[in-house]
Chains A and B, each alone.
Chain A
Amino acid sequence: MKAFGVFGAIMMSTTSMIAAQEPIIIGFATAQSGWLSYESSSVEAAKIAIEEINSAGGLLGRQIKIVEADTKTDRTEGARAGQEMVDQGAKLVVVSCDYDMGSPAAFAAESAGVIAISLCANDPKMGVQGVGSHAFSWSFAAQSGGYVLADFGYEEGWRKAYSLLDTTIEFDKSTCAGFNARWKELVGEEGFLGEDTWRNDDPSISAQITRLLALPQQPDVIMLCTYLPGGASAIKQLRDAGIKTPLITSQALDGDFWLGSVPNLSGFYYNAYMSIFGDEPSPESQALLDKYMKRTGQRPVTSNFVTGYGLIKGYALAVERAGTDETDAVLAEFNKFTDEKIVGVPITFTPEMHIQLKWPALMMAVENGKHKAIRYQTSGATPSMSLLFPQ
């Protein structure tokens, strides 16, 4: 038995010596053009991580090689790009930040038995229950994002909330579902004044404003589940109508580039991956921001880039623990991740859950048009399976 073990070890080492010649290939099936092309900042951060690993001697002594394909923010092109990455021998396919746009590429990888990790999809279906057991997302479930926002609102002392839901995309529906459920848990049904809907490209939300102002009780916080451009337009219309109530939204409205449409915005809160405005409380995240700015020569537009870096570091950790880049071994290591601190964020995966449910969000405030980091916020609870996967 022992002899066999030694023999096995010799075999292993010879194969790994041969393998040491070959690079580990990571494929990026992400959007370089189309509306999602802003995710290039995450890809950039991922490349920083890869360069760091390569210059420190590589992963398992092997260099990481990058291959890329443009999904053009299009599903068909996405499936094609995913297939292309698989065909070029990628052991990991990094896919788009958006579930709808990322899942075709992830599914191509899944079908070929290759691990796919989304840059930051917030849909828990980017995992076992949707795309399949090889798919992960390096972010948190939108519902748990809603939980964190509800806890934040509660801790700020607000007790009456009203939700304005932009029904255009699933992300917002899930965020509001999470917020509404947690808010009712924290405050009780009477603290939830109701929900109204609109669509992102509606030219006006005056009918929604009219309904809001006609409520028997005015809310002391409004939860806006939306994204740009419609989100900023809604905020402007609310403020123009004289509604000064505090507004909470998700990370979809991170960044100050859109504040031009609502100058001197105040009473606006959202969760971010980190603060890009120089007041980041976590030194690790600040160090990453510095690296990013040194490399690109400019401040990132939003804090989204963080996930790209973490994703590669996490993959490297799993590969090192597995001692190989073979899919099954790496997958098994990923599924054992329990509160692994990667760029300061505790990452947990289980065989059932391939997205984070307890990601600590940095709450940001905007006062007089200026961003300010408040604190890292977590929720006291995690969303149930029936909330994550509505029946």
Chain B
Amino acid sequence: MPIRDLIARLLPALVVIAVLALLVAIVDLSGTRLVQNSLVEMLIMTTLVIGLYVFVGNTGITSFGHAAFICIGAYCTAWMTLPLPLKKLNMPGLPSLLHNHNLPVPVSVLVSGGLTASIAIIIGIPLLRLAGITASIATLAVYMVTAISYSNWDAVTLGTSSIVGLPGYKDAWMILAWVALAAIAARLFETSNIGLRARAARDDEVAARSVGIDILAGRLASYALSAFVLGCGGALYAHFLGTISVDAFSLSMTFVTLAMLVVGGSRSLMGAVAGTVLISLVVELLRQLERGVDVSFTVLSLPPGSQELGIALIMLCMLLVRPRGILPDRIANQTFAEPSRPVVGGSANDIAKEKTT
């Protein structure tokens, strides 16, 4: 494949990476440790939202259950990296291999992604036959089963208690590298044949079926890649916090990540990232306001709790003003309009239409 084609395919991912790299560089040069912390958190959220986007953006099914994948990834990395004495104490049920050996964090993150993706494939085969809201409720049910099982699987998850002491892994450039991988993977997938077919099925299921597109295969591939990225993101989140517990991966997390995706525009990678960055910035701004701002000798601050009210209102306003996402449609759609390869060229919609006519 010519390099130019590849660059054209990856363009939105490259834009995303460049913008985030710029942010990291600015903060690296000038920011305090706290701002850096917020930045790393934002980068991890970006990974998660990209993971979510791979499924929602390519299949059009709203997932209520992806916090389950984040949870699975986070616990998996705890199994493989928690300091050995703590691990023996907290997770007696693990196989002895894991009691005696640990993996380096980056390898563990990848393995966590792998485990999560395998689980997604197993549950995806029956569930992804469902469509629309039924599929969404099925993902919710998957979340509930996962969360409750993990809360009760005391031997390896410490039940409802927090596991503390995961090794830290929160260098902004390192996390950025993971975001970059996620963005490139998302982009390669959605411009591949199977990704475009999934999108065709999203846009017009009947037309897609009529030209013989295997809807389940496209959905399943999206689901698996999505779970892989979410699993890695969950592992990164665990190393960022240093502690994990099942109720950290709650329905609220599901909705916050979903909100970031929808605010940005759930149909394009750039939208997903833009939503995450924007909401993270707003949260950070409100957080600073709540802590107080020096205004010529007096400190003005919002009362505790107003950050949450503010973020809800701002989120709602963004949705009302731009229900299709904050990115202009032109940019969001353009990323599928580079007709360089005949088979995958044109928008996903066009393929289905083309083949039906």
Contacts and interface: CB of A to CB of B under 8 A. Distances in A.
A173 interface: yes
Contact of A170 (B41, B86, B161): B161
B165 A32 contact: no
A79 B92 contact: no
Contacts of A221: none
A83 B304 contact: no
Interface residues of A, number: 36
B92 A173 contact: no
A258 interface: no
B33 A99 contact: no
A108 B154 contact: no
A99 B242 contact: no
Interface in B154-171: 154, 159-162, 164-165, 168
A131 B161 contact: no
A104 B243 contact: yes
Nearest to B36: A83
Given A87-B34, A131-B164, A170-B160, A390 B154 contact: yes
Nearest to A80: B37
Contacts of A72: 304, 307-308
B319 interface: no
Nearest to A77: B287
B242 A169 contact: no
Interface stretch (A122-130, A155-163, A180-188, A278-286): A122-130
Contact of A107 (B33, B164, B305): B164
Nearest to B92: A391
Given A70-B290, A83-B33, A83-B34, A130 B248 contact: no
Contacts of B161: 99-100, 123, 125, 170
A129 B89 contact: yes
Contact of B241 (A37, A104, A169): A104
Given A76-B241, A100-B245, A389-B89, A111 B37 contact: no
Contacts of B41: 76
B38 interface: yes
B135 to A, nearest CB: 26
Contacts of A168: 160
B247 interface: yes
A83 B164 contact: no
A168 B154 CA distance: 13
Contacts of B162: 99-100, 103, 125, 130
A195 to B, nearest CB: 15
A70, A76, A87: which has the most chain B beta carbons within 10 Å?
A: A76
Given A76-B41, A80-B34, A389-B89, A173 B168 contact: no
Chain B interface size, as a band, is 20 to 34
Contacts of A13: none
Contact of A104 (B242, B290, B291, B305): B242
Interface string A142-170: 00000000000000000000000001111
A33 B242 contact: no
A383 interface: no
Given A83-B34, A87-B33, A173 B159 contact: yes
A107 B165 contact: yes
Nearest to A31: B304
A236 interface: no
A100, A132, A169: which has the most chain B beta carbons within 10 Å?
A: A100
A125 B305 CA distance: 29
Nearest to A40: B304
A293 B301 CA distance: 27
Contacts of B33: 83, 87
Nearest to A86: B33
Nearest to A389: B89
A103 B89 CA distance: 17
Nearest to A37: B304
Contact of B248 (A33, A70, A75, A125): A75
Contacts of A84: 34
A32 B304 contact: yes
Contacts of A389: 89
Given A131-B165, A167-B160, A108 B242 contact: yes
Contacts of A132: 164-165
Interface string B148-192: 000110100001111011001000000000000000000000000
A267 B151 CA distance: 33
Interface in A70-93: 70, 72, 75-76, 79-80, 83-84, 87
A49 to B, nearest CB: 23
Given A32-B304, A168-B160, A170-B159, A79 B242 contact: yes
B304 to A, nearest CB: 4
Interface string A96-115: 00011001101110010000
A100 B247 contact: yes
Nearest to A130: B164
A132 B240 CA distance: 17
Given A80-B34, A83-B33, A83-B34, A107 B243 contact: yes
A104 B242 CA distance: 7
Contacts of B92: 391
B38 A103 contact: no
Contacts of A79: 37, 240-243
28 contacts: A32-B304, A33-B305, A33-B307, A34-B305, A37-B305, A75-B241, A76-B41, A79-B37, A80-B34, A80-B37, A83-B34, A87-B32, A87-B33, A87-B34, A100-B162, A100-B245, A103-B164, A103-B243, A104-B241, A104-B242, A106-B164, A107-B243, A111-B168, A129-B86, A130-B90, A130-B164, A130-B165, A132-B165
Given A80-B34, A130-B165, A169-B160, 13 more contacts: A33-B304, A37-B304, A37-B305, A69-B291, A76-B41, A80-B38, A103-B162, A106-B164, A107-B165, A130-B164, A167-B152, A170-B160, A391-B92
Q: Which 4 A-B pairs have the closest CB atoms?
A: A33-B304, A33-B305, A170-B161, A32-B304
Interface of A: 32-34, 37, 69-70, 72, 75-76, 79-80, 83-84, 87, 99-100, 103-104, 106-108, 111, 123, 125, 129-132, 167-170, 173, 389-391
